[in-house]
Chains A and B, each alone.
Chain A
């Protein structure tokens, strides 16, 4: 009958094992797989992440320079992060928030950066000429 007596006294003396969410949020661990983030400036649209994805959640359009992910299909396995040759896909520890309707998340690569590089090359060519 007194098997659990040390356990009972310890529970009475210590603070509760639960936390008061949402006042106190839980910090994710460093390796937690929460959601997929991408750094669009380095993406070369090779399509490897789209081919490797087990649930076909990534859709790439090379002509329009868009990278689209459906976060409700994504199973957060991490294959795209491993296989990306430019290492622009990263795993964030925060989970996707719930929503009232399903939607996809589309990223477009900005072309302004590339245009300014072309201008710099033109100036250099004029200087050497």
Chain B
């Protein structure tokens, strides 16, 4: 039987970022998939060795636009651990509020792209209209829609006033009521279910062995969420990781929609418990030592390793982003599926290729 090789990407209407897959096909079924990345490699890990350790917060923030706040937060935590700095309590709660709002924005973006991937453009627009409200919150509180630049070593740079907290609550109520209608289209509509149920099944053992993180692991039955280890203010908040056992694309959609509701609930808890006080402490001297920090980004678990040698430049920064860990799982899911399901499969891992390649 003859085999055809079809190139998928790097430019494709469904992909948010360039990724190239060589699909070896037999009739309509995929036999093998070989990825090729490297279209957005900018060498940011090398750039951080040249800039000061305080200027690096801005470099690291620009690794990715969809998970930018968590990158800056992880870098600041690494340097704070090396230099033994304790940040004030109000700064911890503020960081959690911005991180959860950022997570909501990322999941709403993903939901819209998924609707666009199976051709449902009007649903895509409805979801992104809600995302605009979240971006307005971010611009009003931190100054910019995507690169918040609200983190600094020793705390945060901006504070939230009482009027802003009231306004955030009002907008969150609007988003929640809108999302209840949109959710019933995603989860109960006949045509949408036909495209998602049973597509790209990943079993629990495979997910653990291949190192899948984030919603991929949670939808396959693994109960793993870095926020339960209690960094920043998460130790004082009340939540449980959301787990589903089916392991297909429908389960991942359910997990991500429920995480949006969970984020809204976490922001409300934080606003109720926000303590008074300072928002940052002064930083003196240079860091010396090494540290590893893991944080829950919208896509999974990110690992930051920093080694510093006592000068104002750090020696090495290593970032392992969650999409880097989910790509082997994608390569495992692709063989045996139909060609028309490939865009859906690539989108269910929530690819953030600029994070992967830095």
In the complex, A31 has a CB within 8 A of chain B:
yes
Contacts of A7 in B (CB 8 A): 126, 178, 181
CB distance from B261 to the nearest CB of A (A): 17
Please pick, from B143, B157, B158, the residue contacting A32 in the complex, using a CB distance under 8 A.
Answer: B143
Provided the pairs A3-B181, A7-B126, A78-B143 are in contact, do residues A54 and B149 lie with their beta carbons within 8 angstroms? no
| A78 & B140 in contact (Cβ 8 Å cutoff) | no
Residue B55 is within 8 A (CB to CB) of chain A in the complex = yes
Pair B140/A31 contact, Cβ less than 8 Å:
yes
Q: Which of A31-59 contact B (CB under 8 A)?
A: 31-33, 52-54
Main secondary structure of the interface of B (DSSP, over half): helix
Binds A, one of B15-23, B183-191, B326-334: B183-191
Query: Does B142 touch A at the CB level, under 8 Å?
Result: yes
Whether the pair A54, B59 counts as a contact (CB closer than 8 A) is yes
Closest to A30 in B: B140
- Smallest CB-CB separation from A51: which chain B residue? B52
Interface residues on A, range: 10 to 19
Nearest B residue to A78, CB-CB: B149
| Residue with the highest number of chain B CB atoms closer than 10 Å, among A3, A32, A78, A82 | A3
26 contacts between A and B (CB under 8 A): A3-B184, A3-B185, A3-B189, A4-B126, A7-B178, A17-B129, A17-B132, A29-B139, A29-B140, A31-B139, A31-B140, A31-B142, A32-B139, A32-B143, A33-B143, A33-B144, A33-B149, A52-B54, A54-B51, A54-B58, A75-B62, A75-B147, A78-B149, A78-B157, A82-B157, A91-B143
Binding site for B on A (CB under 8 A): 3-4, 6-7, 17, 29, 31-33, 52-54, 75-79, 82, 91
